[in-house]
Amino acid sequence: MAWIDLVTLLALIEYFVFASAVGSARERYGIKAPAIAGNDVFERYFRVHQNTLELLIAFIPALWMAGHYWNPVWVAAIGAVYLVGRVLYFQAYVRDPSKRSLGYSVSVLPVGVLAIAALIGVVRALIS
C-alpha cells in the first residue's frame, strides 16, 4: 500500500501547489480576497484549483478502495495517470480554457476506472 500512500500524498501536494498558484495569481492580477472574479486569467487558476478539489473528493476514496481489492501497484499506476492529467489540465486551462479537454479526460478517466474497480471488488467480497 506504500505506492497508494505515495500517490495520495502526491495528489495532496499537487492540490496545494495549485492553491499556491491561485495565491500568486491573486497577487499578480490584483484580485483582493474574498473576490474570485475580476481578471480572466486569475479566474482560470481559481477554476483549476476548484475543479481539482471537486475531483479529488472522488479520486482519493476510489484509489483507496480499489487498492484494498486489487494489486496496489497497478492501482497506484492508475492513480499516477490522474496526477499527470491534472497537470495537463492545469497547463491547458490557464493558457486557453477551450483546450482543457485532454487534461480533463486524462484525469477523469482514472477516477472512473478506480471507482468501477472498487465496486467490482466490493461486490466480489460480498458474494464470496
Alpha-carbon torsion 13, 49, 40, 20, what sign?
A: negative
| CB-CB contact of 31 with 40 (8 Å) | no
Cell numbers for 103: 487534461
Look at residue 64 in the predicted model and tell me its pLDDT: 98
Look at residue 25 in the predicted model and tell me its pLDDT: 98
DSSP 39-65: -HHHHHHHHHHHHHHHHHHHHHHHHHH
pLDDT band for position 13 (50/70/90)?
A: very high
Q: pLDDT per residue over 33-60, tens digit each? A: 999 999 999 999 999 999 999 999 999 9
Look at residue 75 in the predicted model and tell me its pLDDT: 98
Q: pLDDT per residue over 72-111, tens digit each? A: 999 999 999 999 999 999 999 999 999 999 999 999 999 9
Could you give the CA distance from residue 61 to residue 117 in angstroms, rounded to a whole number?
Answer: 12
Look at residue 107 in the predicted model and tell me its pLDDT: 97
Q: What is the CATH number of the domain that holds 11?
A: 1.20.120.550
Query: What domain range includes position 55?
Result: 2-127
pTM: 0.95
Long-range CB pairs of 39-43, under 8 A, 24+ apart, other chains included: 41/94
Look at residue 86 in the predicted model and tell me its pLDDT: 98
pLDDT band for position 21 (50/70/90)?
A: very high
In b/e form, how buried is each residue of 79-97, taking b as 16+ CB within 10 angstroms? bbbbbebbebbbebbbeee
Look at residue 71 in the predicted model and tell me its pLDDT: 98
Overall number of domains in the chain? 1
pLDDT band for position 18 (50/70/90)?
A: very high
